[in-house]
Amino acid sequence: MEALSQYRLKRRTLLKGLGVVGLASLSPCFFTSGTAQAEPLRRVPLKLSDYKTYRSTCAMECLHCNLTAYVWQDRLVKIEASKDFNVKCCLRGISRTKWVYHPQRLTQPLLRTGEKGEGKFKPISWDEALDRIEKEIRTVIAEQGNEGLLITTHAGNMDSIKNDMGKAFFDYLGGSTKQIGSLCCAAVTASMTPMLGLRYADTRDTIPDSRFILCWGNNPAVTMHAYWKNYAQAQKNGARIVVIDPRFNETAAKADEWIPIVPGTDIALALGMIKIIVEEQRYDAPFLRAHTGAVYLVDKDQKLMRQSAEDVDSYLVFDTLSKTPVRHDAEGIVPALFNEELPPDSPFTTVMSEIYQQAKPWTLDKVSAETDIPGHTIIRLTRDYASTTPSMIVQNMSGAQRTEFGTYVAASQFYLALITGNIGKRGAGVCDAGGARQMAKFSPIIPPAPNAKKIPPIPVSKIGEWIVQGKPNPIKFWWNMTMGAMTQLPNTNMVREAFKKVPFVVVADNLMTSSALYADLVLPVTTIFEDVSLMAGVRSHYVQLMEKAVEPPGEAKPDYWIFARLAERFGFGEVFNQPIEHYIDACLKGSGITREMLAKGPVRPVEGDWIPFKDGVFRTTTKKANLFIEEWQQKKFSPVVTWMQVSESVKGSPELAQKYPLFAVQRKLARSVHSSHGMNPWILEVQRDKPNVMIHPEDARRRGIQHGEWVTVFNHRGEHRAIADVTTHIKKGVVSLENGWWEQQGGSSSHVTNDQVDLLSNGHCCNSTLVDVKREA
Ligand SMILES: Nc1nc2c(c(=O)[nH]1)N[C@H]1C(S)=C(S)[C@@H](COP(=O)(O)OP(=O)(O)OC[C@H]3O[C@@H](n4cnc5c(=O)[nH]c(N)nc54)[C@H](O)[C@@H]3O)O[C@H]1N2
Ligand SMILES: Nc1nc2c(c(=O)[nH]1)N[C@H]1C(S)=C(S)[C@@H](COP(=O)(O)OP(=O)(O)OC[C@H]3O[C@@H](n4cnc5c(=O)[nH]c(N)nc54)[C@H](O)[C@@H]3O)O[C@H]1N2
Ligand SMILES: [Mo]
């Protein structure tokens, strides 16, 4: 048998694997060629028993599908989705072998020898690398204090161990500067947690039971691909799917209706819908009275009324039977929902009336003027959503909430579900991301550090600018892991400056990524098939064991190995250097799940379908949903959702819009998860190898842009090159840019994205960006 380095997969076989040409073959085989190019490929059949198989999971921020790794002669030769997970492996999943054996795979610690970004490094040993890190950390702590250290992590590996261990290591050092907020879905957290008491609660199990599915600012046909089958089943069962998006996205192509909208105006649409629902009495009054804080009383100073200031849960309502204010949880009451049910001289209002006050001005004309959605569409949409049962909104960390007032966007979707009683039932709800961690308790792996100093953090979108400005403290040492900083943080030019400014940057990754190019020290880490770990996360309903299938190449090590060695040098080795099984068991403790169970396959912490907030039981301390949020009020924002004009928008910044008149929104692609897989050769072969920008024919014509030619998308932050896709599948005045292209491929769309922060959540506003587009000379 020839060496597997000569193993080649014919394009047709790959397409077959993707289900493009018939069904994927279940009996694995591969093709080898002889040494001479001209020699025809020979089929070498292998029996299943020739392989060793191991389990793992796609640990990046996708759906954490359970994978089976096929290993033959110590090499990973094939990946499948395991049968007990009930999904098919996607293109990215089966291409993971190419990530493991990628030409840009890091195999040794590398110390920079050239300029930052130049890509010139010399290999050094782990001992030298660890010596250097220890020296740099000690110097920063001695000369400046722990605030000079920064650790950044994100979603490259969402297992239960690595990121947590990294952050804990810096805490044990005495603390460090950290990021706050999220590039992803901080806005959902800032709305959902105070409203419903629990973040990450998805409704994917009962999508097939829904009769009306509103995909609002997201694209599950691509971004929830493994569960698209549930949407397709719903359609077979008679459900309608409606998509609200400035772009005719892949989900719209399969849906019943596409409603194009001006980016950043979703709050106006939601308020307009609430107005119709209230005025046409399409709300679910019994649900609102029994399960929500819509009935809580508010005084003239916009404060929630309580029976006792000491008891935060003692909200007052007006009982329409006894005609007195009583505690909301008193027996046998019927609380007033709207002000009309209060005595005429009442000094109070109800939360529901406060919300209606916000919605009332949003006439059809006014909503249309903001959103560009015709009035008759708004009415039909509202009636369909409110009066079809059950109805579901798909939120899934939507593009619509990666905007300046994303917290209100996400919250307004929960309002709609609560007001119509479409939550806590099969086929209803607001589908967020969600996972096992919400179903059972997985204890922390490492006890908290005894003396970690509280150091002010940096909002994640501001990492570039704040480091450059030395805010809140100068950063002298930066550890970046599981984060594609140079492609995923907004305003790439500023991020590049930050990388250059920090005297010592460590980047730990599997590949020589766009960010690793800017490191002083690059650390080679294992891929998911090369170490042991646990996934009990927020993106799948299963707990999964990640087994080691193959040896890592060269000197690559798990992130947890690196922290263990460093911890030993700093005198707290025993906290970090236990066998990995110790940490996995610590995570599983109390969940009823054991490693032995997981070795047989993925385990769900709950039996049966998962229905978040079943029967209207929320996870707040009162078990009721809150619609009036005091946390927002403390931040000087309206405690109920209100219209806010996004500042970087045509209407919000008319002067800026003179220069950059087009709205730029981002899209995620089937070819990658963010920048991960962005350089995978199989994917580049089957899909595109160049970024596109969708632009409307009228916008293109005015700029002399032809379909298929290179253009530059630019603004005051930077520029991004892409091929013009001139199409009516995008709203006029909007362009759609693609997420995840590497610097080495011409640059990511984050060169232009807005690095403003959604103040309610410390969220990322990449979809509140103005640009212009020009032909390339
Ligand atoms: N322009 C633009 N920017 C965006 C978005 C957008 O749509 N457009 N979307 C935003 C969203 S929603 C998100 S969630 C973020 C995602 O942003 P990130 O989480 O930063 O995503 P990736 O680009 O996949 O980067 C993950 C990196 O981790 C590395 N990695 C994988 N496994 C390991 C490991 O075990 N250890 C270490 N040390 N590294 C590992 C990968 O190789 C990769 O380089 O991006 C945000 N940024
Ligand atoms: N294949 C693949 N799947 C993924 C990912 C990936 O990178 N690749 N990433 C994962 C992650 S981390 C996340 S957060 C999810 C995200 O999942 P999605 O939110 O579905 O992903 P996006 O493509 O960022 O955004 C979806 C849509 O939002 C639209 N949009 C932008 N701005 C607005 C607006 O103001 N209003 C409205 N109504 N629509 C707007 C965009 O045009 C886009 O079509 O996907 C997850 N799944
Ligand atoms: Mo995300």
pLDDT in tens, 199-232: 999 999 999 999 999 999 999 999 999 999 999 9
Residue 629 near residue 740 (C-beta atoms within 8 A):
no
pLDDT for the residue numbered 744: 86
pLDDT for the residue numbered 38: 52
Find tokens 């040098």 and name the residue. 569
**What's the mean per-residue pLDDT of the chain?**
94
- Taking CA atoms only, the protein residue closest to ligand 1 atom 31 is 156
pLDDT for the residue numbered 40: 63
- d(C-alpha 252, C-alpha 259), whole Å: 9
Helix (H, G, I), strand (E, B) or coil at 464: helix
Ligand 1: distance of its center to the CA of 625 in Å? 33
Does ligand 1 come within 6 angstroms of the Cβ of 92? no
Q: Quick one: which of 156, 751, 167 has its CA closest to 513? A: 156
pTM > 0.85: yes or no: yes
Atom of ligand 2 nearest to the CA of 264: 35
Q: Quick one: which of 742, 587, 570, 720 has its CA closest to 669? A: 742
Helix (H, G, I), strand (E, B) or coil at 691: coil
pLDDT in tens, 627-639: 999 999 999 999 9
Give the mean model confidence (pLDDT) for residues 400-407: 98
Does ligand 2 come within 6 angstroms of the Cβ of 266? yes
Atom of ligand 2 nearest to the CA of 247: 42
Ligand 2: distance of its center to the CA of 223 in Å? 7
**Residue 22 binned pLDDT confidence (cut-offs 50, 70, 90):** very low
Atom of ligand 2 nearest to the CA of 184: 14
Does ligand 1 come within 6 angstroms of the Cβ of 736? no
pLDDT in tens, 155-180: 999 999 999 999 999 999 999 999 99
Q: Considering the domain 189-432+619-634, what is its CATH architecture?
A: 3-Layer(aba) Sandwich (3.40)
Residue 60 has pLDDT above 60, yes or no: yes
Which token pair is 185? 């879905």
Ligand 3: distance of its center to the CA of 55 in Å? 25
pLDDT for the residue numbered 279: 98
Among 4-13, 344-353, 432-441, 454-463, whose mean pLDDT is lowest? Answer: 4-13
Q: At what angle do helices 406-419 and 186-196 cross, to 10 degrees?
A: 40
- d(C-alpha 711, C-alpha 688), whole Å: 16
Ligand nearest to the CA of 92: 2
pLDDT in tens, 309-337: 999 999 999 999 999 999 999 999 999 99
Q: Quick one: which of 620, 195, 166 has its CA closest to 415? A: 195
Ligand 2: distance of its center to the CA of 739 in Å? 9
The dotted CATH code for 110-183+443-525+553-598 is 3.40.50.740
pLDDT for the residue numbered 443: 87
pLDDT for the residue numbered 46: 77
Which token pair is 514? 């766009």
Does ligand 2 come within 6 angstroms of the Cβ of 492? no
Question: What are the boundaries of each domain within the chain?
Answer: 10-100, 110-183+443-525+553-598, 189-432+619-634, 654-753
Residue 30 has pLDDT above 50, yes or no: no
Helix (H, G, I), strand (E, B) or coil at 492: helix
- d(C-alpha 96, C-alpha 638), whole Å: 46
Ligand nearest to the CA of 523: 1
CA 760 to the chain's CA centroid: 18
Q: Quick one: which of 260, 347, 365 has its CA closest to 297? A: 347
Residue 242 β-bridge partners: 214, 257
Give the mean model confidence (pLDDT) for residues 262-271: 98
Atom of ligand 2 nearest to the CA of 736: 42
Helix (H, G, I), strand (E, B) or coil at 669: coil
- d(C-alpha 297, C-alpha 350), whole Å: 5
Among 660-664, 674-678, 685-689, whose mean pLDDT is lowest? Answer: 685-689
Ligand 1: distance of its center to the CA of 484 in Å? 5
- Ligand 2 pocket test, pick from 223, 539, 645, 673 with the greatest ligand atom count within 8 Å of Cβ, gives 223
- Taking CA atoms only, the protein residue closest to ligand 2 atom 31 is 399
- Ligand 1 pocket test, pick from 63, 162, 401, 509 with the greatest ligand atom count within 8 Å of Cβ, gives 509
Give the mean model confidence (pLDDT) for residues 456-474: 98
Does ligand 1 come within 6 angstroms of the Cβ of 674? yes
Rg (alpha carbons) of the chain, rounded to whole number: 27
Ligand nearest to the CA of 766: 1
pLDDT in tens, 80-89: 998 877 788 8
pLDDT for the residue numbered 709: 97
pLDDT for the residue numbered 23: 32
Which token pair is 637? 């924002």
Ligand nearest to the CA of 738: 1
Give the mean model confidence (pLDDT) for residues 496-509: 98
Residue 93 has pLDDT above 70, yes or no: yes
Does ligand 2 come within 6 angstroms of the Cβ of 156? no
- d(C-alpha 321, C-alpha 336), whole Å: 9
**Residue 25 binned pLDDT confidence (cut-offs 50, 70, 90):** very low
Residue 9 has pLDDT above 80, yes or no: no
Q: Considering the domain 654-753, what is its CATH architecture?
A: Beta Barrel (2.40)
Ligand nearest to the CA of 401: 2
- Taking CA atoms only, the protein residue closest to ligand 2 atom 12 is 61
- Taking CA atoms only, the protein residue closest to ligand 1 atom 8 is 739
pLDDT for the residue numbered 191: 98
Residue 260 has pLDDT above 60, yes or no: yes
Residue 103 CB neighbours (<10 A): 9
pLDDT for the residue numbered 665: 98
Residue 31 has pLDDT above 70, yes or no: no
Residue 4 has pLDDT above 90, yes or no: no
Atom of ligand 1 nearest to the CA of 399: 7
Does ligand 1 come within 6 angstroms of the Cβ of 481? yes
Ligand 3: distance of its center to the CA of 646 in Å? 21
Ligand nearest to the CA of 648: 2
- d(C-alpha 201, C-alpha 423), whole Å: 11
pLDDT for the residue numbered 39: 59
Whether the domain at 110-183+443-525+553-598 and the domain at 189-432+619-634 fall into the same CATH topology:
no
Q: Quick one: which of 25, 20, 44 has its CA closest to 34? A: 44
Ligand 3: distance of its center to the CA of 261 in Å? 22
Residue 266 near residue 244 (C-beta atoms within 8 A):
yes
Q: At what angle do helices 559-570 and 162-172 cross, to 10 degrees?
A: 10
Give the mean model confidence (pLDDT) for residues 523-527: 98
- d(C-alpha 720, C-alpha 344), whole Å: 60
- d(C-alpha 264, C-alpha 326), whole Å: 40
